[in-house]
Amino acid sequence: MIWPGKGSLRKDDKTIFYSGNRDGKFENGVGFVVSENILPYVKDFQAINERMCYIRITGCIFDLIIINCHAPTEDKKEDDIKEDFL
């Protein structure tokens, strides 16, 4: 997902939660596509940066946290990798 900023939008019977570049550029980005039958159980969505986000889903016994990370490719600078993940 390469949408700038962060947020959610509804498309047909799905909701898209996304976290993109905060500079308004259409590059990088992560997110989740959630069907309408799971949506009532979504407790939280957090956009960490354009490469990381997580969603918390209510379960029967405990909550489930799913983390989405997009690792930079080998052509990225070492400093950029450290800044994003360390």
pLDDT digits (tens, 9 = 90+) for 4-63: 788 899 989 999 998 887 776 667 789 999 999 999 999 999 998 888 999 999 999 999
4: Cβ contacts below 8 Å, ≥ 6 apart: 20, 21, 22, 23, 24, 25, 26
For residues 80 and 64, which has the higher predicted lDDT (pLDDT)? Answer: 64
Q: Checking DSSP bridges between strand 42-49 and strand 30-35, what pairing results, if any? A: unpaired
7 vs 47: CA distance, rounded Å: 8
pTM of this structure: 0.75
14: Cβ contacts below 8 Å, ≥ 6 apart: 33, 34, 35, 36
